[in-house]
Amino acid sequence: MFKFLKKSFSDFTKKLKEDKPKEKKVEKKEEVKEEKKVEEEPKKEEPKVEAPKEEKKPEAKRKKEKFDKIFSDFETSLLENNIAYEVVSLIKEEIKKEIEKDHKKKKKIDEVLKSLIERIFNEVEEVKLNEVLKKKPTVILFVGTNGTGKTTSIAKFANYLKKKDLSCVLAASDTFRAAAIEQLETHASKLKVNVIKHKYGSDAAAVAFDAIEHAKAKNIDVVLIDTAGRQHANADLMDELAKVKRVAKPDLTILTVDMLTGNDAVHQAKMFNEKIGIDGLILSKSDADEKGGALISAVYITKKPVLFLGTGQGYDDFEEFDKDKIMDKLL
Ligand SMILES: Nc1nc2c(ncn2[C@@H]2O[C@H](COP(=O)(O)OP(=O)(O)OP(=O)(O)O)[C@@H](O)[C@H]2O)c(=O)[nH]1
Ligand SMILES: [Mg+2]
């Protein structure tokens, strides 16, 4: 998943390392020069003492220019790998701070990157899924832009619950898109779970309400609510979604984002979080994304945790997010 981002990190650290020995040599030469001057001309006039200062200036300038060039290449490759601008600025700040530190205290750049990304993953509101699932029924609302994998993720989630011996019912609250109800029913029949549905064009919130009542009556553990895909810019559909949320009072609202849409995925995460309010993310199609930046950026921008990664089209292609596993893949 992080093939290109990993390469971008390692190219950057390599280039910075390549730059180091030269600096050291120059510094040594200067030290030698200074020592010689002290030995050879102990009593001579002072103006010469100022000379090394003038030599140091261009060297510092050269170093700065070189760093700026290395960093600007790095910046470009981070943006190309779907790292959001805000995260790029943060990385730049941290690395500059580290480079300016006194030599002995300096960490390796890959350690700086690693701890920064770990910090991004740690600075999220925690969701303890096992705790949430103890409530009966637990209501989970799935939201997101068209085609990002909501319905598929619901089917995968139902399969995940089955493995935990938890029962579920699906609410066909996508009453908007043609064939959306049949698509959910096909998954449900394969997974042997029930679907609560109304007619196309009916009130999505009413479907969710009925599914919750059904779960209460039948002692079902979890209600998974499918909703119509919508662009965050579509005010009517966003209002409808807000109504579903008000009526269903979900214990969790999960946003699915498609990793392949890169920076747009990050933008969607920001907008849905602001307009609807989300508790966690599912990043779908991670199997097809070689970049990975959307994941780090969406977490940083929303401060919400990734709960699952979609890793394919099968029901088992659904990985619980494991920060350590991701860190190992990345650096
Ligand atoms: N490779 C891959 N494909 C996925 C993944 N998740 C979903 N898909 C595919 O993405 C397409 C869209 O998935 P849906 O689940 O229908 O998306 P949706 O968000 O419900 O779409 P709308 O209802 O139209 O808004 C389908 O062809 C899925 O098989 C994933 O993790 N990996
Ligand atoms: Mg759908």
Q: Indicate whether residue 175 lines ligand 1 (CB < 6 A).
A: no
Q: Indicate whether residue 258 lines ligand 1 (CB < 6 A).
A: no
* pLDDT grade for 98, boundaries at 50, 70 and 90: confident
- Amino acid identity of residue 225, one-letter, is I
Q: What pLDDT does 39 receive?
A: 52
pLDDT over 70 percentage in the chain: 88
* pLDDT grade for 297, boundaries at 50, 70 and 90: very high
- Please tell me the number of the ligand nearest to residue 146's CA: 1
Q: Which residue, by CA, sits nearest to atom 1 of ligand 1?
A: 312
Q: For residue 37, is pLDDT > 60? A: no
Q: Indicate whether residue 230 lines ligand 1 (CB < 6 A).
A: no
Quote the pTM value. 0.87
CATH 3.80.30.20 fits 129-330, yes or no: no
Q: What is the pLDDT of residues 184-213, one digit of tens each?
A: 999 999 999 999 999 999 999 999 999 999
Q: What pLDDT does 53 receive?
A: 57
* Beta strands, E only, the chain: 138-143, 168-173, 194-196, 222-227, 252-258, 280-284, 306-310, 318-320
Q: What is the pLDDT of residues 105-154, one digit of tens each?
A: 777 888 888 899 999 999 999 999 999 999 999 999 999 999 999 999 99
| Mean pLDDT of all residues in 84-100 | 88
- Amino acid identity of residue 197, one-letter, is K
Domain ranges in the chain are 3-122, 129-330
| Nearest atom, ligand 1, residue 156 CA | 6
Q: What pLDDT does 55 receive?
A: 56
Q: What is the pLDDT of residues 247-262, one digit of tens each?
A: 999 999 999 999 999 8
Q: For residue 25, is pLDDT > 50? A: no
| Nearest atom, ligand 1, residue 148 CA | 19
Pairing outcome for strands 306-310 and 318-320:
antiparallel
209 Cα: distance to centroid of ligand 1 (angstroms):
25
| Mean pLDDT of all residues in 323-329 | 89
Q: Indicate whether residue 176 lines ligand 1 (CB < 6 A).
A: no
10 or 193, which is more confident?
193
